[in-house]
Chains A and B, each alone.
Chain A
Amino acid sequence: MRLVVDLNKCQGYAQCAFLAPDVFAMHGEEALVYDPHADEEQRERVARAVAACPVQAITADGLTRAAETREASDGR
């Protein structure tokens, strides 16, 4: 699955690195490195990371961020 992190938004809370450590890792205290092409078997973990990110910075194929769900239900 393809994924991308908006690193302008990312504030290094590291939730993703705890929830999907094979995909996301902290590099130093607050820099994030990640694999933009996660194995399909990581989908469940990536989904948890997407949902848990406090600043909603992760976009991944087929996974909707909470903010977008809200926007959709607002009729936007």
Chain B
Amino acid sequence: MAADYVEWLRREGRIVIVGASLAGLRAAETLRAEGFAGELTLIGDEPHEPYDRPPLSKSVLLGRASPHHTELPHRREIDAKWRLGVAATGLDLTAKRVRLADGDEVEYDRLLIATGVRARPWPKEEEARLDGVCLLRTREDAADLYRRLKAGPRRVFVIGAGFAGSEVASACREMDLQVTVAERAGAPLVGALGGVVGAVAADLQSENGVDLRTHVTVTALEGDGVGRVRAVHLSDESVVEADVVVVSLGSLRNTEWLTGSGLGAGPRGIACDAGCRAFDFRGIVTDDVFVAGDVARSPHAIFGYQFLSLEHWGNAVAQAETAAHNMICHGADRRPHLWMPAFWSSMFGVNIKSVGVPPMGEELMITQGSLAERRFVGVYGHQGRIVAAVTFDNTRWLEFYQRQIERGAPFPVEYPTVDRRPEGRQPVPAAFPDPSLPTHGPMVTLSGYSPADQQLVFHPARH
């Protein structure tokens, strides 16, 4: 019977994809490429066809691309019904229906959830409404920020020195704008890469003229008489005047619409099995609901089957392809999502890339290049094996380290190299911050073993 159902589904079933961004689009293309001939509906809360976000904080702010034209190329025709500009507001698992903001309901036979994340807003609403207080996630955000930067503000203030915040600061310096960056931790990028690499990022910012303030938090945004932001108050009691404030405090997963649906969905995302099938809140896998992209948390064999939440471009693509494949094939033909976490960023002319799960590492070893030259490979170790690597302007080596991670190669690394550097090739503590202190939030989150567990589980530098 099950086989018949899959044949029927492929021929004339109804598949609904909630989320019309990178993951939603690539899933739709994969469904068609693998022979799905039924009815396909894409639902997206933004009124635009799927567009790419990484350029918004890079090419767009550097003036090399229009914020309104980062639409993703299509790999093939997808012959879908588009419901754009209308958010999904609810899910009825029993009736197999998605409720929409306009009151409409869409029935499905199989559902893919790819609702992604949104920018975490400044928590004080009144201050967040001040003119000049910006977020950077959507194309409208990017257009607004670019316009404000082009207008030549006297100073830009960036709250949070994660990748997005650091990229904004970099763009500001390219435009010769004064910029202050405030970070709660001791350095930029520490949540994602730890304190040792963070210190390199800090030097990079300072040398490029960024006024970097660490170990501080923003206590208040001050407006003028007509509702424009004019100053930022810090926890060290200093006050910085600024015309533009960019709130870059990481992101929130778009799962609120699933509250009460019975799915295992929460602030850390939607738990799913290695085949992208969503769990319900009891930890039982569902048959007809799949998850992909930033909103998913799925167990990964290479990382001890811990659930990983990955805000990575490449993960959205790979997980969408796997989910779509698994949605329309028989059980034995299903594939696990085993994509190796990987991301990139560039700031101040330096290319930063990573594979694996750096925050899992307790120790870091610089295996090639040197921190001082800002051109290096760093390898992260956890319980005697390599779990991640990061490169600054050394991307061509990354693939080698990816293979090392995949085969569980020992840490400290044992292969000899001719690359003897001042660091002495000794492991040092990677210096990830205490997980109980909030930072901008790493883009890779280890989120525990139980599918119903919504807690952040983090491996601190020393147990």
Chain A residues close to B by CB (< 8 Å): 1-4, 6-8, 10-12, 25, 27-31, 33-37, 59-61
Q: With the chains together, A37 CA to B314 CA distance in Å?
A: 20
B396 at interface by CB-CB < 8 Å: yes
Residues of B within 8 A of A6 (CB): 313-314, 317
- Is A3's CB under 8 angstroms from B73's CB? yes
- Is B65's CB under 8 angstroms from A37's CB? yes
B residues 67-91 touching A (CB-CB < 8 Å): 69-75
Known pairs A8-B343, A37-B70; list 10 more (Cβ under 8 Å).
A3-B73, A7-B313, A12-B395, A31-B350, A34-B65, A36-B52, A36-B65, A36-B69, A37-B65, A61-B73
CB < 8 Å: which of A2, A29, A61 contacts B393?
A29
B64 at interface by CB-CB < 8 Å: yes
- Is B349's CB under 8 angstroms from A27's CB? yes
Known: A8-B313, A12-B351, A35-B64. A30 touches B395 (CB 8 A): yes
CB < 8 Å: which of A2, A3, A33, A60 contacts B62?
A33
Proximity bits, B365-409, A CB within 8 Å = 1, else 0 = 000000000000000000000000000010110000000000000
- Is A36's CB under 8 angstroms from B70's CB? yes
Chain A nearest CB from B168 CB (Å) reads: 15
- Is B70's CB under 8 angstroms from A31's CB? no
Chain B minimum-CB-distance residue to A25: B64
Known: A2-B73, A4-B52, A8-B313. A36 touches B351 (CB 8 A): no
- Is B351's CB under 8 angstroms from A59's CB? no
Chain B nearest CB from A32 CB (Å) reads: 8
- Is A28's CB under 8 angstroms from B351's CB? yes
- Is B71's CB under 8 angstroms from A11's CB? no
B177 at interface by CB-CB < 8 Å: no
- Counting chain A CB atoms within 10 Å of each CB, which of B314, B342, B346 scores highest? B346
- Is B55's CB under 8 angstroms from A36's CB? yes
B58 at interface by CB-CB < 8 Å: yes
CB < 8 Å: which of B55, B72, B343, B351 contacts A31?
B351
B426 at interface by CB-CB < 8 Å: no
Chain A nearest CB from B13 CB (Å) reads: 24
- Counting chain A CB atoms within 10 Å of each CB, which of B54, B55, B69, B314 scores highest? B55
The number of residue pairs between A and B whose CB atoms lie closer than 8 Å in the complex comes to 79
B59 at interface by CB-CB < 8 Å: yes
Q: With the chains together, A4 CA to B396 CA distance in Å?
A: 20
**What secondary structure prevails in chain A residues at the interface with B?**
loop
Q: With the chains together, A27 CA to B351 CA distance in Å?
A: 9
Known: A28-B346, A30-B351, A31-B350. A37 touches B69 (CB 8 A): yes
Chain A minimum-CB-distance residue to B395: A11
Chain B residues close to A by CB (< 8 Å): 52, 54-55, 58-59, 62, 64-66, 69-75, 313-314, 317, 342-344, 346, 348-351, 353, 393, 395-396
Chain B minimum-CB-distance residue to A7: B344
Residues of A within 8 A of B348 (CB): 28
Q: With the chains together, A8 CA to B7 CA distance in Å?
A: 36
Chain A nearest CB from B310 CB (Å) reads: 12
- Is A35's CB under 8 angstroms from B59's CB? yes
CB < 8 Å: which of A10, A27, A35, A60 contacts B65?
A35
Residues of A within 8 A of B70 (CB): 36-37
Residues of A within 8 A of B55 (CB): 33-34, 36
Known: A12-B351, A31-B350. A59 touches B69 (CB 8 A): no
Residues of A within 8 A of B64 (CB): 25, 33-35
> Nearest 8 CB-CB pairs, A to B?
A28-B349, A37-B69, A31-B346, A31-B351, A2-B73, A36-B70, A30-B351, A61-B73
- Is B346's CB under 8 angstroms from A4's CB? no
- Is A7's CB under 8 angstroms from B62's CB? no
Chain B nearest CB from A51 CB (Å) reads: 16
Residues of B within 8 A of A2 (CB): 71-74
Residues of A within 8 A of B395 (CB): 10-12, 30
Q: With the chains together, A60 CA to B109 CA distance in Å?
A: 32
Chain A nearest CB from B59 CB (Å) reads: 5
Q: With the chains together, A34 CA to B313 CA distance in Å?
A: 16
Q: With the chains together, A27 CA to B58 CA distance in Å?
A: 10
Chain B minimum-CB-distance residue to A6: B314
Chain A minimum-CB-distance residue to B375: A29
A-B contacts, 27 listed (Cβ < 8 Å): A2-B73, A3-B73, A4-B52, A4-B73, A6-B314, A8-B342, A8-B343, A8-B344, A11-B396, A12-B351, A12-B396, A27-B62, A28-B348, A28-B350, A29-B349, A30-B351, A30-B395, A33-B55, A33-B58, A33-B64, A35-B59, A36-B52, A36-B69, A36-B72, A37-B65, A37-B71, A60-B73
